[in-house]
A and B are shown apart, each in its own frame.
Chain A
Amino acid sequence: MPKKDALAALYLCMARIRAFENAAEILSQGGVSAYNKTADGSAKVRGPLHLSTGQEGVAAGVCAHLTPRDYLTSTHRGHGHTLAKGADLGRMMCELYGKATGFNGGKGGSMHIADFSVGMLGANGVVAAGLPIAVGAAHAQKLQGRSDITVCFFGDGATNRGPFLEALNWAQVHQLPVLFVCEDNRWSATTASGPMIAGPGASARSESLGIAAHLVDGNDVWAVHEKAAELVQTVRSGHGPRLLHALTYRVKGHVSVDLAAYRDPREVEAALKNDPIQNARRALLALGSSDAACDQMDQQAQAEVQSAMQSADQAPWPSVSAAYTDIQTTGAGQWF
């Protein structure tokens, strides 16, 4: 595919994530009980909503190289990863509403968004929990003799948890087909990551275990795309795990109700000037594309989100009896 077309596809992917999350943020206003506020039961999207605004380049650039047979594990900030992996935007919005037509039948919501049909094995409410699961999935792929791989997204904060070390060690010991992707957004919940991470961070920790790590500008979607192409190919060819350390920035607070007033406004201002979507638009224009063509992609993304909201509005709630299903087959049912 010519670079212009490939970049346009990445732009549309990022625009879709941005439009989805912007809408979800508005829909979630008042929907969380935190910071001395009680949740407003009428909010359409309720509960903690962790936005990936500003990080879209990493999801789009990496997932462009994956097939539905490849697996993906995600973090609590998983909307972008899920959409980039090819999940249906409409069903995802239904899940955020908690409707029966959502991917998880209303049992998971934003924090547990998943679409197993495209290999997306789930967002996760526990930091670093996706790493061992990814390693197990990759181990299965190797045992099954498949050419598929597993991609594992995690944040810089996760590198301080034990499962990060355990999973990387395991992957290297068994030479598993897994690509670890650190989305280094510089914040661990509401604390700056820098002072909390001893040493140089994810890349150095990975290299210390013999897993080659590659640093990339996460806000340059084409740079991510190119580096990920190389690493996905390496991992797919059976050369063991690799780590992609993508430097990006979390524009919003930790969770939708967090206005992130604790941050230096100059830091956010600088990040906004380095927005991955605007960077991609400039690159597209330099390749001969037009503002109108980019605007059209923005409008397409908006239209998809509008349509998703309408269908989610009309979709049914889960039946009360669904609270008792999907728990376990053995010993399932109502126990009081």
Chain B
Amino acid sequence: MVLNTMSYSQAAVLAVQREMEADERVVVMGEDVGRGGIFGQYKGLQQTFGTHRIIDTPISEAAIMGGGVGMALAGMRPVVEMRVVDFTLCGMDEIINQAAKNRYMFGGQGRVPLVARMPIGIWDASAAQHSQSLEAWFAHIPGLVVVCPGSVQDNYSLLRAAMQCGDPVVYMEHKTLWGLEGPVDESVQVPLGQAAVLRAGDRLTMVSWSRQMQVCQVACDQLAALGIQVELIDLRTLWPWDRDTVLKSAAKTGHLLVVHEAIQAAGFGAEIAATVAETLGVRVKRLGAPRIPVGYAPVLEAVARVSAEQIVAAAQNCLKPVTQ
């Protein structure tokens, strides 16, 4: 076991490098990828693998995503870069109608093994068009795998797993996690669809993913100080999501709180809460952002953030006896 400390973005570079070494069908396409990507997530790769494998493209999200579909059908394994999830909206037909539906619509004649990287989340002072968390949109679409890594190790292991997957994968790194540092063991394999239990507890099950995991950790410390031991689950993959781990934990604790940075209304937390309520009948609660665009001014941006204090309050509320 060799543990190297590196950043979330360096872990991503290493993952792409390892897959490109192992499989010559892997190529990267996107805006600014030759210069390393806007977050350094491809840094140095064009120097190593050449312009024919790390392909700089015009600003053309529809063509990058649609081109990825054509490339995959022709036997390649493209990684397509969207810069930020917000810009994926310019290539939405290509991912929803084309990439996700191709295999089914054509009766399994072709496969689309592409990885679409689309960073999510609030990006400081970047306002409404650069701060969205749209993971629920993609989890809603049959055919897509949705991954939201929240740690440096997971960003290495899950990106490799995504690049080995035979289905189109929506891979969502968080815009403010790129500098996060942590250990990476290259031998660790994390399968898609498997959650991680980060803290053991018996009073309440808390489920989250991506950067919000860090806020949840702070909240869990505060709750522990109050004598409330929380079982914290990092979902890691939103589709397919690890129902077994969540249900097992919720059955033990009898209480579920789902926390996400995305807007609460019609968010993916509703799917988890409903599944647990329908299956176990335990007390469930959701916590997400209000249904507002993210504002620019610090005071406005803060309204869109889910804080540790809110999480603590929601957890305590979830544990209160139901009053008639």
Contacts and interface: CB of A to CB of B under 8 A. Distances in A.
Contacts of A103: 106-107, 109
A311 B97 CA distance: 31
A194 interface: no
Nearest to B145: A330
A112 to B, nearest CB: 5
Interface in B1-37: 27
Contacts, number: 158
Contact of A108 (B78, B107, B165, B168): B107
A121 B110 contact: yes
B85 interface: no
- Name the interface size band of chain B: 35 or more
A303 to B, nearest CB: 27
B135 interface: no
Contacts of A144: 74-76
Given A116-B106, A328-B167, A140 B74 contact: yes
B220 to A, nearest CB: 28
Interface stretch (A57-65, A166-174, A223-231): A166-174
B288 interface: no
Contacts of B93: 126, 129, 163
Interface in B93-115: 93-94, 97-98, 102-110
Interface string B262-299: 00000000000000000000000000000000000000
Contact of B143 (A122, A126, A136, A328): A328
A125 B102 CA distance: 12
Nearest to B90: A162
Interface residues of A, number: 50
B70 A121 contact: yes
A136 B97 contact: no
B90 to A, nearest CB: 8
Contact of A327 (B68, B76, B103): B103
A329 B166 contact: yes
A140 B29 CA distance: 12
A215 B53 CA distance: 35
A114 B193 CA distance: 32
Given A129-B97, A132-B94, A140 B110 contact: no
A162 B64 CA distance: 13
Given A129-B66, A330-B193, A173 B166 contact: no
B29 to A, nearest CB: 8
Contacts of A102: 107
A103 B106 CA distance: 7
27 contacts: A103-B107, A104-B109, A108-B106, A112-B105, A114-B109, A114-B110, A121-B70, A121-B73, A126-B93, A129-B98, A132-B62, A134-B70, A135-B66, A135-B70, A136-B78, A138-B70, A139-B71, A143-B53, A143-B76, A166-B62, A169-B63, A170-B57, A170-B67, A328-B142, A328-B145, A328-B168, A331-B240
Interface of B: 27, 52-53, 55, 57-58, 60, 62-63, 65-76, 78, 93-94, 97-98, 102-110, 142-145, 165-169, 192-193, 239-240
